[in-house]
Chain A
Amino acid sequence: MKTSVRLLLIALLVAACIASESLAAGDWGPTEDGWHTWQVAAADGGELQIYVSMERGRPVKLRLQGDSICSGHFDVEATDLGFVEVDQSIDWLRRYTEPQSELGSEVLMAISFHSGDRPVTILADVVKSGSNRKLREEALFWLAQSDSDDAFVVIDRLLSGKM
């Protein structure tokens, strides 16, 4: 009896740990007001530094720094969230690609600079089923800047009237 209770407790503990980890992954990202910054692997093989200014729980400004981004020097006091996984960064940014977000265009640009296949998948989704034409056009632009075969398949389909 004692053993089975112990086993049940261990199982509950493990389940709680897993749940808390996945909750943390899903909830990752800046929440408090003010500037936050983090680093992530960039599509050009370098490092992408993302700065976000939060107000009332929502991002209101977004700045990027990286080897392929020709922006002036950006210097602001920000809470450094460190180097994060591409998926974490993209998952957080993706919440703000909805049409009503003031940062929709900037967020698409930021996503396009992340490494891996997910940026193209997300941009292609916006092109295929986005509800806002401006964002669809922005997504097309960033797709065309990538060197991914998949990106140009999407553009080809659109130009062929198959989308």
Chain B
Amino acid sequence: MHIRLKPILALVLLLAMSSSLAQTTVSEVSDVADESEMLKIAALEALISAPPERALPLATKVLHSNNSDEVKELALFVLSQIDLPEAQATLLEVARSGDDELSGEAVRMIGIGGDPEALAGLADLYSTGGEEVREAVLEAYMIAGDTAAVYQIAQNAANEDEFEAAVEMLGVMGARDELRALRESSGFSEPLIEAYAISGDFEALLELAMDSSDPEIQALAIEALGIVGGENVNAALSEIYLNTDSQDVRDAALEGMLIAGDDEGVLELYRASDDISEKRDLLEILSVMGSDLVLDVIDEALEGGQ
């Protein structure tokens, strides 16, 4: 059978060329798209310092055009920096749009902008929005430092998860007064104690740590003291450990010292103890802490022939 090589070779060559051409075209198009995207981002960044009345229509137009989320998110940031009511209104409009990704970002931008009217508009959005939007509203209030709004959310929380998220945010915001007020209205709970710890409220935690009426809450408060840390905490935890007959309280105090990293305090307790089993537990804590003081204990034991 006679095979015609020339046309086959030509076809192979053509296929190879067309494939290479296609690749080049795709890569070039992609480069152009990247460059165009980068320039849009640069243009929006430039608008941040442009006259607001010039930047406002352009940033708004970007939001309503076919652009990537990254470009639109930057446009939202530009709007957050514009001190004009129209800019805040557009942010609220996007926040209410129902587009999860973009509305969450718009909500955060309202927090960054800090406009009281726009922030007030977020309360409605919180009650009607989905989980992501509610999370974004809490973040926006945190960014804006609006503790009163987060307190309202915690107080009106429809369920435990909502309460926990709001209380945690109050802790991050260091809103001790609001957290203490919540104790009056909602009683004690683990999230509230964690929030005290995050906010660094030593006094409130110490009060709970000394109160044995609810052993579970007491133990949680003692451990949470370790998160606050500091010399006051170290002294308080040692005192709690030494002045109790409850093993649970002692365990909680040791846990707190472990969290606080107070190896010197644990060593002091070790030296003060005559109980071999207790000494073993304390030595174990020191080892878990990775403390070099373990070596001191070993030296002392060797010197004392123990």
Task: Point out residues on A near B: beta carbons under 8 Å.
Answer: 127, 133, 136-137, 140-141, 143-145, 147, 152, 155-156, 158-161, 163
Q: Which residue of B has the minimal Cβ distance to A161?
A: B36
Chain A residues with CB under 8 Å of B51's CB are 147
Asked whether A158 and B54 contact (CB < 8 A) given A133-B35, A144-B49, the answer is no
Q: Which residue of B has the minimal Cβ distance to A141?
A: B46
Task: Point out residues on B near A: beta carbons under 8 Å.
Answer: 35-36, 38-40, 42-47, 49-51, 54-55, 58, 61-62, 65
Chain A residues with CB under 8 Å of B49's CB are 141, 144-145
Most B CB within 10 A of own CB, among A133, A137, A155, A158: A155
Chain B residues with CB under 8 Å of A137's CB are 38-39, 42
In the assembled complex, the CB of A122 is this many whole angstroms from the nearest CB of chain B, namely 16
> Chain A at the B interface: mostly helix, strand, loop or mixed?
helix
Chain A residues with CB under 8 Å of B36's CB are 161
Chain B residues with CB under 8 Å of A147's CB are 51, 54
Chain A residues with CB under 8 Å of B38's CB are 133, 137
Is the Cβ of A140 less than 8 Å from the Cβ of B50? no
Chain A residues with CB under 8 Å of B46's CB are 140-141, 143-145, 155
Is the Cβ of A141 less than 8 Å from the Cβ of B45? yes
Chain A residues with CB under 8 Å of B58's CB are 152, 155-156, 159
Partner of A156, one of B35, B45, B61: B61
Is the Cβ of B61 less than 8 Å from the Cβ of A140? no
Complex alpha-carbon distance, A141 and B43, angstroms: 7
Is the Cβ of B39 less than 8 Å from the Cβ of A133? yes
Is the Cβ of B62 less than 8 Å from the Cβ of A159? yes
In the assembled complex, the CB of B100 is this many whole angstroms from the nearest CB of chain A, namely 24
Chain B residues with CB under 8 Å of A143's CB are 46
Is the Cβ of A136 less than 8 Å from the Cβ of B39? yes
Chain A residues with CB under 8 Å of B39's CB are 127, 133, 136-137, 140, 158, 163
A-B pairs, 6 with minimum CB distance: A144-B46, A137-B42, A144-B50, A141-B46, A140-B46, A140-B43
Residue contacts A-B, CB under 8 angstroms, 5 given: A133-B35, A145-B46, A152-B54, A159-B62, A160-B61
In the assembled complex, the CB of A142 is this many whole angstroms from the nearest CB of chain B, namely 8
Asked whether A159 and B50 contact (CB < 8 A) given A133-B38, A137-B38, A152-B58, the answer is no
Is the Cβ of A158 less than 8 Å from the Cβ of B40? yes
Complex alpha-carbon distance, A160 and B62, angstroms: 7
Complex alpha-carbon distance, A140 and B36, angstroms: 13
Q: Which residue of B has the minimal Cβ distance to A142?
A: B46
In the assembled complex, the CB of B69 is this many whole angstroms from the nearest CB of chain A, namely 15
Is the Cβ of A159 less than 8 Å from the Cβ of B35? no
Chain A residues with CB under 8 Å of B45's CB are 141
